[in-house]
Structure 1
Amino acid sequence: MSSLAATPGKAEPPVRLRKPTWKDPRLLVGLLLVLASVAGVTALVGNADQTTDVYAARVEVPIGREVTPEDLTVAAVRLDELQSAYLRVADGIPEDLVATSLLRAGELVPRSSLGAADALDRKPVGLTVDDPLPTGTSTGSRVDVWVSLEGDDGTFEPPTQLLAAAEISELRVSESALGGGSGSTLVHVLVDDERLPELLDALLNEARIAIVLNPGGSE
C-alpha cells in the first residue's frame, strides 16, 4: 500500500512596513496639529505678558498739591486700549502739575487727574474746627460749612450755612478729636471763587466754624 507524502502549503509573504515620507498625509496632518498647538500656547503666553508700567499713588495726594516722584510708585498692569488714559512710566512725570482730583494711595494715576494749578476751579482753604467730626469723615467726604459771627456784645449770632456739599481735600485730625473727643481739627475744603471772599471774611473776623457731614453730597 503506497503512501502519499504530505505537501506543505505555501508560506504567506512577510508584511513590510514602509518608512513614512513627507508625502504621507497622516504625517502632514500630525505635524500641522503640533505646529498649531505650539502657536496657540505661544500666543497665549505672549498676550498674558503684555503689561504696561504705569504710575500709581504711593500716598494720598490731595487736590491742589503738586505731584512729585516721591508721591508715586510703579505698577505693571494690563491696560490694552486704556493705556493713554493713565500716566505711563515711559512718558515720565510732568513738571509743575498738581492733582486736580483726589489721588488715593494704591490707585493708578489718570492723566485727567493732573493739571496746572491755575486751572483749578476750586481752591483749598484750611478751617480749624473745635467740635468733633463725625466718625467716618475723611478726605473726599462732602460737608456743609456753617459759620457764626461774633456780635458787638461778644456773643455769637445764630449759625448760617456758608457752603453746601464742599469736598474735603485734606484732613488733619487727632484721634481725640475724631468721634467725640476734644481737640481741634484742621480741615481743608475746596471752595469756588464765588464763595471764597465770604469764607475768608468769616475767618478774618474769627467766626466760629462748624462742619456737618453731608453723605449725599447734595447742595
Structure 2
Amino acid sequence: MSSAPDPSVPALRLQQPSWKDPRLLIGILLVLASLAGVTALVSSADKTVPMLAAKEQIAVGTPLAAEDFVVVDARLGDLEGAYLRAADPMPANAVATSLLRPGELVPRSALGRADELDRKPVGLPVDSPLPDGAGPGARVDVWVALPDARNGFGEPQLLLEAAEISQLTRPSSALGGLQPEQLHVLVPDSKMAVLLHALSNGARINVVLNPGSAS
C-alpha cells in the first residue's frame, strides 16, 4: 500500500551542472592540459634543427673553417647539445681531433686546438699493396725494416700497433706519373722520434690491418 509523500520533507531534484560548477571547470582544465601535453610531445618529437655536417672527408689535424661544412636538418632530441648547430660560431683556430666522414654530423668533441693533439698525422711510403679495408679510420700495425750493412734490410720490427689511418694520398710526380700511395697514420708523440729516424734512414715500411683493435 502506497503512502502519500510527507509535505514537510523537501523533494530532491536533479539539477543540470552549471558552467559555474567548480567540478566542471576542473574537468575541462584537466582535458585541456592533457591535450596540450600530447601536442607538445608530438611537436617535440617532430622537431628538426639545422646542424652542421662535413662536406667532404676531414682528416685529424685539419684546420676547420665554415666552408668545410653543409647545413642539414636533423632530429636529435636530447643529443642535440653534443653536436655543432648551424647557428653556433666556429671556434677560432679549431682543428679536427677525430676523423669526420662526408655527411656526418660534427660532434663537439671532434673540435679542438692543434696543440691539444696527442697524435699527429705522418705520411708513410708503403712498399707493399695495402690490405683490403685499409681506409681512413681503420687501424693498422706498422712494421719497419732498417737497411743493413749488406745492402739489404734487417728483420722487421713492430713500430706502431693499431695506428689509426687518417687519410690516403696518391701524389702526382713532376713527369705526370704516379708515385706510390702514401698512407697517413696518426702517430703518438712517444713514437715520433723513432719513426722519423726510420724514415730518414730509408727503412722499408709495411702495414698489416688490425681489425680487432679498439677504435
TM-score category (smaller protein): 0.7 to 0.9
Residue in 1 that maps onto 2:186? 190
Tell me, in whole angstroms, the C-alpha distance in 1 between the residues paired with 2:136 and 2:160.
17
2:200 is matched by which residue type in structure 1? L
**1:103-149 Cα deviation digits (max 9, x unpaired):** 11111101111100010001111001131011121101111111111
**1:61-85 Cα deviation digits (max 9, x unpaired):** 1111112222211122222332221
Tell me, in whole angstroms, the C-alpha distance in 2 between the residues paired with 1:49 and 1:82.
14
Consecutive unaligned residues of structure 1, counting only runs of 5 or more, are 1-21, 175-181
Q: Does the Cα contact within 8 Å between 1:51 and 1:77 map onto a contact in 2? A: yes
Residue 165, structure 1, aligned to residue 162, structure 2 = yes
Identity %: 54
Residue 130, structure 1, aligned to residue 127, structure 2 = yes
Return the match for 1:59 from 49, 56, 73. Answer: 56
The structure having more radius of gyration, on CA atoms, is 1
Residue 111, structure 1, aligned to residue 108, structure 2 = yes
Aligned in 2, Cα 1:63/1:156: closer, same or farther, shift over 3 Å? same
Tell me, in whole angstroms, the C-alpha distance in 2 between the residues paired with 1:156 and 1:48.
62
Moved more, 81-90 or 40-49: 40-49
Cα-Cα RMSD? 2.9
Deviation at 1:55, TM superposition (A): 0.8
Residue 72, structure 1, aligned to residue 83, structure 2 = no
Q: Does the Cα contact within 8 Å between 2:100 and 2:106 map onto a contact in 1? A: yes
**Residue correspondences, number:** 189
Residue in 2 that maps onto 1:96? 93
Tell me, in whole angstroms, the C-alpha distance in 2 between the residues paired with 1:137 and 1:101.
17
DSSP 3-state at the match of 2:87: helix
Aligned in 2, Cα 1:217/1:173: closer, same or farther, shift over 3 Å? farther
**1:26-56 Cα deviation digits (max 9, x unpaired):** xx89xx5996897577535532443221111
Q: TM-score, normalised by structure 2?
A: 0.76
Consecutive unaligned residues of structure 2, counting only runs of 5 or more, are 1-17, 172-177
Return the match for 1:212 from 204, 208, 215. Answer: 208
Tell me, in whole angstroms, the C-alpha distance in 1 between the residues paired with 2:150 and 2:210.
33
DSSP 3-state at the match of 1:81: helix
DSSP 3-state at the match of 1:200: helix
1:54 is matched by which residue type in structure 2? M
